[in-house]
């Protein structure tokens, strides 16, 4: 969790109550919350498109396509933006697979995240790893990689397998 020392209002010293910070000077409460993220799992013919991370944290590990929402951004628009940035593909979201919590360490700070995992259909574009992705691979849903970058991604992959087993006769 990110630790803050000074009040964003008056720059006074903060005390940490565990639930929130309180400024010792102006007495204002300062709350922290999880950062929202979207993760996209394009599914086609019993396979899912996964991305290999090109940067830290977790460089070289398999991950979903996705990232952090921009301030005020709608999750559906963020999912489409992140997919285009990382893969060159256009998508249509189908189902919300699940919502998961996780931690994301960046430059010595640990940020708590709230991750929305969506199933998606590719509707256009040319597949090409870009941005913070080094490789894109279609994996059979029944044979997914073990080298996954984040706890929430591993949990989502287990839920994806369950979803696939329950729905493969109708796909």
Enumerate the active-site residues: 135
Round to the nearest angstrom and report the end-to-end CA distance of the chain: 41
108, with CB counted inside 10 A (0-12, 13-18, 19+), is: exposed
Question: Phi-psi bin for 88: left (phi > 0), alpha (psi -120 to 50), beta?
Answer: left
CB 2 within 8 A of CB 109: yes
Strand residues in 5-108 grouped as ranges (E): 14-16, 21-23, 29-30, 35-44, 47-53, 62-63, 65-68, 89-106
Select from 120, 109, 137, 126 the least CA-distant residue to 41: 120
CA dihedral 39, 86, 148, 156 (to 10 degrees): 20
């Amino acid at each position: 969790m990110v630790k803050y020392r000074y009040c964003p209002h008056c720059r006074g010293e903060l005390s940490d109550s565990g639930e929130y910070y309180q400024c010792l000077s102006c007495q204002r409460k300062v709350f922290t919350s999880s950062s929202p993220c979207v993760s996209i799992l394009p599914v086609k013919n019993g396979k899912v498109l996964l991305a290999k991370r090109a940067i830290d944290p977790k460089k070289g590990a398999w991950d979903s396509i996705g990232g952090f929402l921009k301030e005020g951004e709608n999750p559906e628009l963020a999912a489409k933006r992140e997919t285009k940035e990382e893969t060159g593909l256009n998508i249509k979201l189908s189902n919300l697979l699940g919502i998961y919590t996780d931690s994301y360490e960046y430059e010595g700070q640990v940020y708590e995240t709230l991750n929305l995992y969506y199933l998606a259909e590719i509707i256009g574009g040319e597949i090409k790893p870009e941005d913070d992705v080094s490789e894109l691979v279609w994996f059979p849903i029944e044979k997914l990689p073990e080298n996954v970058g984040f706890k929430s991604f591993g949990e989502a992959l287990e839920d994806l397998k369950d979803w696939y087993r329950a729905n493969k006769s109708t796909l």
